[in-house]
Amino acid sequence: MQRALQHIEQHLGQPLSLAELAALAGLSVWRFATVFRQQMGLSPHRYICRLRVELAQALIRAGMPPATVASEAGFYDQSHLSRHFKNWCGMTPGQYLSSAREARGS
């Protein structure tokens, strides 16, 4: 499982297939998904989305434009980023940027 987790972190901005991750863990796809959920508390897809949103947050705080953030963090486009970002953070990337700027300004 550790090899799969390292692969996810090292290739976060690239497409990641469940079959590829399962092979790294030496498990079938179905067994990998089950073991992953047991160990990590999230499905592989939700775990990867969470890490990508966390990366997007850091890139937004660093001043990168949202369209560039989307591709760098492994999302298909800006709307894909916004949908997942809002799901995890409760706000859009633009709202997050505004709140980050306000926090720095105070």
Q: Where are the domains of the chain?
A: 2-45, 48-105
**Tens digit of each residue's pLDDT (9 = 90 or more) over 1-14:** 999 999 999 999 99
Token pair, residue 105, equals 């300004």
> Which pLDDT band holds residue 69 (cuts at 50, 70, 90)?
very high
Whether the domain at 2-45 and the domain at 48-105 fall into the same CATH topology: yes
Q: 22, 28 in Cβ contact below 8 A?
A: yes
**In this predicted structure, what is the pLDDT of residue 101?**
78
CATH superfamily of 48-105: Homeodomain-like (1.10.10.60)
pTM of the model: 0.88
Q: 90, 76 in Cβ contact below 8 A?
A: no
> Which pLDDT band holds residue 52 (cuts at 50, 70, 90)?
very high
> Which pLDDT band holds residue 99 (cuts at 50, 70, 90)?
confident
CATH class of 2-45: mainly alpha
